[in-house]
Structure 1
Amino acid sequence: MSNELKRGLEGVLVAESELSHVDGEVGKLVYRGYDIEELARGASYEEVLYLLWHGSLPTRAELDDLREHLAVERSVDDEVLSTVRTLADAGDQPMAALRTAVSMLSAYDGDAESEGVLAEGARITAKMPTILAAFERARQGEATVDPDPDLSHAGNFLYMLTGTEPDAVSEETFDMALTLHADHGLNASTFTALVIGSTLADVYSCVTGGIGALSGSLHGGANQDVMEMLHEIDDSDKEPVEWVKDARENDRRIPGFGHRVYKVKDPRARILEGKLRDLADSSGDRKWLEYTTAIESHLADEGLVEKGIAPNVDFYSGSVYDAMGIPMDLYTPIFAMSRVGGWIAHVREYQEDNRLIRPRARYTGPETADFVSIDER
């Protein structure tokens, strides 16, 4: 057995998976063999869920069944919603509220211990948008909006968030964003869910753990960091490129650039850049598009892309959400709302040939220590 230390498990193979593959050298992402661009442009998020959970794209009848099932499961118990409203009134962060509410859902699922991963997982997936929208409505002093069974997964969230059915461009864009974030190999939150799943814990525990991992600033919050940067630029008296030059001279990191796996532009960033253009054309507001493209062009000219530091998905996703009027601190919970599909798929896949995940640590403490009783210390 090798004793080589791999900090952060970088490059360590811990599982085999048929779900998604990331080729960071060429900037390619596939779900079960399908290129992410084909799925983002041609399939709905519900189709992608079916693909990840069942191994193939659904027929029309299979898709209708899944959509009907999700529609039935979207309602959330009043006790859970009451807790969500209490957390909103208390000023809790939306990611923390989502984590608490998902954990609480298990208490109201009488079949949680007898049903399989997919049954529980579909229930959680259906309810997370309802929880998140209810939280935002509560902290705005607005009444909860019940889900509409006739709307898509993406459309329902936007409807429950605003109380108004979304326009076609917004619904299509948000649906695409959900697809782009649905899975991405063994990232930190997926691996967390997998570790929990390897103990044969219930799926509520796996998803709660995944949300906790995603909440960390090194994982799920980069799109919010990008938007905070863009607002800081907008509030300054500097042009975007001038601001970035000054920031780099002061050793500030530019959020949305660089990725542990991708050495070229993230394919998801390419797609969302196009959707940001569509939203800008639809609204006539091109500010964030102009800022982000100017920054990207400048940093490319500075040689960052040649060094393997290229735009990742977060560089454009925040601007897309902002263009739809979504508050910044909902970006990471929306990430969780999408990635839950991948967490569930990975847990189910791993448990088919399960082995408890139990790595070792190299002990670096003292060899011996003389014990002294408490009265003599």
Structure 2
Amino acid sequence: MIKNMPNKFSEITPEIEELAKKCEKKIDPTLFEKYDVKRGLRKQSGEGVLAGLTDISTIMSYMVEDREIVPCDGKLYYHGIDIEDIVQGFIKEERYGFEETVYLLLFGELPNEEQLQDLKQLLAEYRQLPTNFVRDIIMKAPSRDMMNTLARSVLTLFSYDDNASDTSIPNVLRQSLQLIALFPVLAVYGYQAYSHYEKGESLVIHPPQENLSTAENILYLLRPDSKYTKLEAKILDLALVLHAEHGGGNNSTFTTHVVSSSGTDTYSSVAAALCSLKGPKHGGANIKVVQMFADIKEHVKDWTDEKELKEYLTRIVRKEAFDQSGLIYGMGHAVYSISDPRSKVLSYFVEGLSKEKGKEKEYALYTNVEKLAKQVIAEERRIYKGVSANIDFYSGFIYSMLDLPYELYTPLFAIARIAGWSAHRMEELVNGGRIIRPAYKGVAGHKTYTPIKER
């Protein structure tokens, strides 16, 4: 088994430990205030520093009344259309919505029936990987991290593209559509290889089906018997729609803008975005939510006892419980204060799935934590804006009810967000013109060079 093989490549020697201490020099925190540096490109209130303009999506978390900022219920618009209206539209007409969301994000308008069917057909054709790609790239070097598998696979696809470095919009669009189509296949196949070689599970590789939506194909490819319910596919599709785009300032999308501004190829740009999304402060947050709830279930005897539950949440915030981070994962957002519209939409459908899966008690626990966490954070922390549940709060619960493995939680985010990244990459190429290059002020004092024999 791969996991039992010795790996000196990963060993941290005492010499490295000692040298690492030299790398831990911290900058005087008062200097950030002195030079008015917005750490994380965010103001003290949490509001982001304006770094660009985008036509792709709009996030609204406050209104201006009499020259004062007034928080409001969060809103998210894809090319000016309210995400709640988009969801209500395809749910009411009993359609899957991710494919038309892809069309909207890329082309700036909702597709008619013919345009939507053409896009679905194109994505179906693009879901075929190059000959022997699964055997030579995915199977021969399986990774325990599916985001690593995705990034490596994307970079390798460069070698299969005769026009890989062409940054003309028609070529970038072609590449983007191919990657949107292939992400579910790459992620699931990567997991199947890992599950087989690392866990000793049976190896099951299903070919994608032309007549299935993106959400349906994910479940079809992942499950050994390829079976799923309509409700399961609908809720997974909804999660993809809500994760598909979230402005130009989120870490992975801003990475897309930064890397694209250098003039590099699509594969490099997307791989960089994947590496950003992999971080637990970004795309990996929903895994922490599920792990936190497992910890709560273990330590809170009566899930319905609000006093006991609140006391344990207080311990989490005080860094006395769970992972000692002081965070109630899934609560709070860099932009939204009163509510995250994506969480609001997703929560409508969680209850129905919990009933189908016999998870009503777990659902009640989630709703109680959502309510009590706001009180605990307000009592224990100095906050500059309201705190509400973000999309990660419920998405992890949904994925667990769908029996999706932890290893695919963040890749599912990527499967959705590649649509937004693609739209932003083309927007940067069309409108950018200049390489993104913010300033960093050097604060090290000048020193005299010392000859090596005198050191």
Confirm whether residue 162 of structure 1 aligns to residue 215 of structure 2: no
Query: What is residue 30 of structure 1 aligned with on the other side?
Result: 77
| 2:312 maps to amino acid | W
| 1:194 maps to amino acid | H
Task: Show the 5 A alignment for 1:48-67.
Answer: 48-67=101-120
Confirm whether residue 322 of structure 1 aligns to residue 400 of structure 2: yes
Confirm whether residue 338 of structure 1 aligns to residue 416 of structure 2: yes
Query: What is residue 317 of structure 2 aligned with on the other side?
Result: 248
TM, length-normalised to structure 2: 0.78
- Aligned pair partner of 1:144 in 205, 218, 226: 205
Q: How many residues align?
A: 372
Measured after TM superposition, the shift of residue 167 of structure 1 is 1.6
Output the CA distance in 1 between the equivalents of 2:372 and 2:449. Answer: 62
Confirm whether residue 179 of structure 1 aligns to residue 179 of structure 2: no
More moved, 74-83 vs 176-185 = 74-83
Task: Show the 5 A alignment for 1:192-341.
Answer: 192-240=255-303, 241=309, 242-249=311-318, 250=320, 252-302=326-376, 304=378, 308-341=386-419
More moved, 329-338 vs 132-141 = 132-141
Measured after TM superposition, the shift of residue 352 of structure 1 is 0.8
Measured after TM superposition, the shift of residue 165 of structure 1 is 4.0
| 2:388 maps to amino acid | A
Q: Which has the larger radius of gyration?
A: 2
User: 2:129·2:182 contact (CA, 8 Å) conserved in 1?
Assistant: yes
Query: What is residue 358 of structure 1 aligned with on the other side?
Result: 437
Q: Which runs of 5+ in 1 are unaligned?
A: none
User: 1:227·1:328 contact (CA, 8 Å) conserved in 2?
Assistant: no
Output the CA distance in 1 between the equivalents of 2:317 and 2:447. Answer: 48
Query: Residue by residue, what CA displacement relative to the aligned partner does 1:45-95 show, whole Å, maximum 9, x if unpaired?
Result: 11111111001001111111111111001112344323222343xx52111
User: 1:233·1:239 contact (CA, 8 Å) conserved in 2?
Assistant: no
Q: Which runs of 5+ in 2 are unaligned?
A: 1-34, 43-47, 63-71, 91-96, 196-200, 304-308
Structure-2 change in CA distance of 1:60 and 1:360 (3 Å): same
Structure-2 change in CA distance of 1:141 and 1:135 (3 Å): farther
| 1:224 maps to amino acid | I
| 2:79 maps to amino acid | R
The percentage of aligned residue pairs carrying the same residue is 34
Measured after TM superposition, the shift of residue 144 of structure 1 is 1.2
User: 2:328·2:373 contact (CA, 8 Å) conserved in 1?
Assistant: no
| 2:144 maps to amino acid | D
Structure-2 change in CA distance of 1:270 and 1:304 (3 Å): farther
Structure-2 change in CA distance of 1:171 and 1:54 (3 Å): same
User: 1:74·1:147 contact (CA, 8 Å) conserved in 2?
Assistant: yes
Query: Residue by residue, what CA displacement relative to the aligned partner does 1:237-281 show, whole Å, maximum 9, x if unpaired?
Result: 523425324433426321001111111121111111112111012
Output the CA distance in 2 between the equivalents of 1:118 and 1:351. Answer: 11
Query: What is residue 187 of structure 2 aligned with on the other side?
Result: 132
More moved, 227-236 vs 205-214 = 227-236
Query: What is residue 8 of structure 1 aligned with on the other side?
Result: 40
User: 2:165·2:266 contact (CA, 8 Å) conserved in 1?
Assistant: no
Q: Which runs of 4 or more aligned residues in structure 1 lie more than 4 Å from their structure 2 counterparts after TM superposition?
A: none
Measured after TM superposition, the shift of residue 301 of structure 1 is 4.3
TM, length-normalised to structure 1: 0.93
Output the CA distance in 2 between the equivalents of 1:62 and 1:123. Answer: 17
| 1:347 maps to amino acid | R
Output the CA distance in 1 between the equivalents of 2:56 and 2:76. Answer: 11
| 1:238 maps to amino acid | K
- SS of 1:24's partner is strand
Structure-2 change in CA distance of 1:217 and 1:302 (3 Å): closer
| 1:17 maps to amino acid | T
User: 1:46·1:153 contact (CA, 8 Å) conserved in 2?
Assistant: yes
More moved, 164-173 vs 79-88 = 79-88
Query: What is residue 148 of structure 2 aligned with on the other side?
Result: 96
Output the CA distance in 2 between the equivalents of 1:7 and 1:302. Answer: 26
More moved, 334-343 vs 114-123 = 114-123
Measured after TM superposition, the shift of residue 203 of structure 1 is 1.0
Output the CA distance in 1 between the equivalents of 2:191 and 2:255. Answer: 27
User: 1:48·1:179 contact (CA, 8 Å) conserved in 2?
Assistant: yes
Output the CA distance in 1 between the equivalents of 2:115 and 2:439. Answer: 44
| 1:63 maps to amino acid | L
More moved, 238-247 vs 201-210 = 238-247
Output the CA distance in 2 between the equivalents of 1:92 and 1:106. Answer: 23
Output the CA distance in 1 between the equivalents of 2:114 and 2:165. Answer: 29
User: 1:259·1:312 contact (CA, 8 Å) conserved in 2?
Assistant: yes
- SS of 1:375's partner is helix
Output the CA distance in 2 between the equivalents of 1:265 and 1:134. Answer: 36
